[in-house]
Structure 1
Amino acid sequence: MRQRAANDPRLSVASAIRLLDDPRDSVRHAAARHPRLPARVLVRLLGDRGTAQEAARHPALPVGVIRQMIARLRG
């Protein structure tokens, strides 16, 4: 049920942020890709090794940012 909610674009921002602390990995990962997450939250997720991979899949992440991330990994 919580994972379905995390995948629902109608979910409020506050609820999506709360689901980032869910005990189930699948719910946290879905919440990290929620399209309404604020940029400040997304940046925090990208900077954390435990959440960076899922945050990098966020649909609102600009292509330029993705390219910078790839360049740093190669760098």
Structure 2
Amino acid sequence: MLMAHPAVLRDLIEQYEALVALDASEADSARGRQRMEDVAYTLCVSTGTRDIDAALIAARHQLPGARPQDDSLLSGN
């Protein structure tokens, strides 16, 4: 399986978290909702997962310095 570059994954995680913080999925803006869906989809494709929670965990574990048993990676969700 191809793996996304860590810089790409980090950027996608940051974009998704920013959209969540802005509550883009609940906003009246169709553009905001679409952007959130696009980033979530890209994260899923980049990590070989089917849902955003699994994609975030997988992406964080692919970042430099991540350890397989590192529970701190799960606290950001």
TM-score by length of 1: 0.32
Relative contact order higher in (CA < 8 Å, ≥ 6 apart): 2
